[in-house]
């Protein structure tokens, strides 16, 4: 990933004119991952035509990529698609030119773009706004500075906390919020058939010190741990110590410790300066990064029956390497407790696990996975336990990667078509929503 020094960013900030700004730490779920493409895809992105101009930053993922590309290419002859942020930005500009007012343009986007999109943007007229897709899949909150002079939108509350800002509210699905001289103006533009907030935010993606619906993420993760104990009492009786896979396993490990009374041995330590998220890396880099990132203290695990607490198993690389290390160090038994239930299908909404082939859970049962990674057992949390701990209603959560039930129609059709082909032996050539053939078959 391109590296920019903090001092260079601060120096650049100081030179910027104006009183509004948007930005994004992009997590790539569309387009290419080489350095040139990552730099090109840096947000905010802009679109302009006939004197109209808009800039946006967004979190999420577009599903109907090809349909939008065709529409945009007809209107912008020099349009070059790099990633889905370009699609949202150009689509919004098309609708702004058509409708003239922001609310109508955003409403058309909400109705015609399928996927997850939490967007912050600025128009050439000086509108500062944010909106969420009709299912509210990704988080986005609004807040203000203590003196009321500055208004902000942010994916997570943690960025408000560290700037001493106050959180005002989480945007509703299908809501547009604009900043006016009198503060926030809220408009619900589209009523979706259901809310579908990403359940994976709770298990892995969000920072533990962020809040959703007034609950800190780390509190939910602790409850995941307590629940894993309630669901696996037999195994708990056969364990001497708990280990966590740092750091997303730390909070649930606390819960496992509290509910079982078993010592949480802090014998897995994360290297402070190896900061890559192994989950995001290309497979060739992943194994060596995990090896460098997590140090296990051999004398503390030798001869022990161990519960390893992990947030999720996607490909299984991290868990497999950790179990392997524990075995080499003389662990007597290794049980793996996983807070996120078994992932059986791809995510089409902004988490980069967008094929069946990469998911160990799409092909194997928990027992088979335990055998593959050489664990004595792999215990996934139940769907009911997950839902209960979040405090959300079941139907307000997206759990498509766990259940195969996608909240939007094209995603459901793509997932169904490609699942059948995958089971017949087809090898996926990229993220499902970026395979033209898959989109055509699902259309
Ligand atoms: S499919 Fe899974 S990871 Fe993707 S938005 Fe839904 S719950 Fe989150």
CB under 6 Å to ligand 1: residues? Answer: 137, 198-200, 347, 349, 351, 398-401
Considering only residues 87 and 213, tell me which one the structure prediction assigns the higher pLDDT: 87
Specify the residue with its C-alpha closest to ligand 1, atom 2: 401
What is the enclosing helix (H) or strand (E) of 366?
helix 366-373
Confidence of residue 1 (pLDDT cuts 50, 70, 90): very low
Pocket of ligand 1, candidates 279, 345, 347: which has the most ligand atoms within 8 Å of its Cβ, to mutate?
A: 347
Residues 169-200 pLDDT 10s: 999 999 999 999 999 999 999 998 999 999 99
Assign 247 to helix, strand or coil. coil
Mean pLDDT computed over 122-136: 96
Distant-in-sequence, close-in-space partners of 349: CB < 8 Å, separation ≥ 6: 60, 61, 63, 115, 116, 137, 138, 198, 398, 400, 411
User: Would you say residue 285 has pLDDT above 70?
Assistant: no
Pocket of ligand 1, candidates 116, 199, 344, 383: which has the most ligand atoms within 8 Å of its Cβ, to mutate?
A: 199
pLDDT above 90: percentage of residues in the chain:
72
User: Would you say residue 36 has pLDDT above 80?
Assistant: no
CA of 60: how far to CAs of 113, 202, 205, 218, in Å?
12, 16, 12, 22
Mean pLDDT computed over 134-153: 96
pTM: 0.93
- How far does the centroid of ligand 1 lie from the alpha carbon of residue 407, in Å? 10
Name which of 101, 97, 100, 119 is nearest 110 in CA terms: 119
Specify the residue with its C-alpha closest to ligand 1, atom 5: 198
Say which DSSP state 396 is in: G
Residues 59-74 pLDDT 10s: 999 999 999 999 999 9
Considering only residues 247 and 87, tell me which one the structure prediction assigns the higher pLDDT: 87
User: Would you say residue 2 has pLDDT above 70?
Assistant: no
What pLDDT is stored for residue 208 in this prediction?
96
Pocket of ligand 1, candidates 398, 399, 405, 414: which has the most ligand atoms within 8 Å of its Cβ, to mutate?
A: 398
Instruction: For residue 399, give the ligand 1 atom closest to its CA.
Output: 7
CA atoms within 13 Å, Cβ hemisphere of 145 = 6
Name which of 202, 258, 201, 232 is nearest 389 in CA terms: 202
Distant-in-sequence, close-in-space partners of 310: CB < 8 Å, separation ≥ 6: 245, 249, 318, 319, 322, 336, 337, 338, 339
Mean pLDDT computed over 152-163: 95
User: Would you say residue 246 has pLDDT above 90?
Assistant: no
Residues 297-350 pLDDT 10s: 999 999 999 999 999 999 999 999 999 999 999 999 999 999 999 999 999 999
Considering only residues 368 and 424, tell me which one the structure prediction assigns the higher pLDDT: 368
What pLDDT is stored for residue 139 in this prediction?
97
Name which of 210, 159, 180 is nearest 20 in CA terms: 180
Q: Measured at the alpha carbon of residue 111, what is the angle toward residues 106 and 114, in degrees to the nearest 5?
A: 110
What is the enclosing helix (H) or strand (E) of 154?
strand 151-154
* Ramachandran bin of 342, using left for φ above 0, alpha for ψ from -120 to 50, beta for the remaining angles: beta
User: Would you say residue 4 has pLDDT above 70?
Assistant: no
What pLDDT is stored for residue 3 in this prediction?
62
What pLDDT is stored for residue 79 in this prediction?
86
- How far does the centroid of ligand 1 lie from the alpha carbon of residue 349, in Å? 6
> Please, which residues bridge with residue 180 across strands?
183
> Please, which residues bridge with residue 428 across strands?
none
> Could you give the CA distance from residue 220 to residue 121 in angstroms, rounded to a whole number?
31
């Amino acid at each position: 990933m391109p590296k920019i020094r903090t001092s260079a960013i601060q120096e650049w900030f100081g030179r910027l004119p104006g009183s509004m700004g948007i930005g994004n730490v992009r997590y790539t779920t569309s387009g290419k991952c080489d350095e040139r493409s990552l730099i090109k895809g840096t947000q905010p992105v802009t679109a302009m035509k006939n004197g109209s101009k808009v800039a946006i930053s967004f979190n999420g993922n577009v599903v109907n990529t090809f349909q939008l590309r065709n529409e945009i290419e007809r209107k912008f002859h020099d349009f070059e698609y790099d990633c889905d942020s370009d699609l949202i930005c150009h689509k919004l500009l098309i609708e702004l030119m058509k409708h003239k007012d922001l609310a109508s343009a955003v409403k058309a986007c909400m109705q015609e773009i399928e996927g997850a999109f939490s967007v912050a943007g600025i128009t050439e007229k000086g509108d500062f706004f944010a909106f969420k897709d009709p299912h509210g899949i990704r988080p986005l909150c609004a807040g203000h500075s203590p003196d009321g002079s500055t208004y902000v939108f942010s994916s997570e509350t943690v960025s408000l906390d560290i700037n001493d800002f106050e959180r005002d509210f989480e945007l509703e699905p299908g809501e547009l919020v604009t900043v006016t001289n009198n503060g926030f103006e809220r408009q619900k533009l589209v009523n979706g058939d259901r809310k579908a907030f990403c359940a994976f935010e709770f298990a892995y993606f969000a920072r533990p010190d962020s809040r959703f619906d007034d609950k800190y993420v780390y509190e939910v993760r602790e409850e995941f741990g307590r629940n894993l104990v309630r669901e696996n009492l037999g195994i708990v009786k056969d364990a001497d110590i708990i280990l966590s896979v740092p750091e997303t396993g730390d909070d649930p490990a606390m819960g496992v410790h509290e509910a079982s009374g078993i010592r949480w041995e802090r014998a897995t330590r994360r290297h402070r300066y190896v900061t890559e998220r192994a989950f995001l890396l290309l497979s060739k880099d992943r194994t060596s990064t995990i090896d460098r990132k997590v140090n296990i203290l051999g004398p503390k695990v030798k001869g022990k029956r161990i519960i390893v607490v992990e947030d999720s198993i996607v490909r299984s690389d991290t868990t497999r390497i950790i179990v392997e290390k524990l075995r080499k160090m003389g662990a007597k038994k290794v049980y793996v407790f996983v807070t996120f239930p078994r992932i059986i299908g791809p995510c089409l909404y902004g988490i980069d696990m967008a094929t069946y082939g990469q998911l160990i859970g799409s092909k194997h049962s928990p027992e088979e996975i335990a055998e593959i990674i050489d664990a004595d057992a792999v215990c996934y949390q139940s769907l009911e336990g997950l839902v209960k701990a979040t405090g959300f209603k079941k139907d307000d959560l997206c759990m498509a990667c766990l259940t195969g039930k996608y909240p939007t129609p094209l995603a459901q059709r793509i997932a169904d078509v490609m699942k059948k082909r995958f089971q017949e032996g087809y090898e996926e050539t990229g993220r499902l929503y970026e395979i033209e053939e898959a989109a055509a078959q699902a259309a």
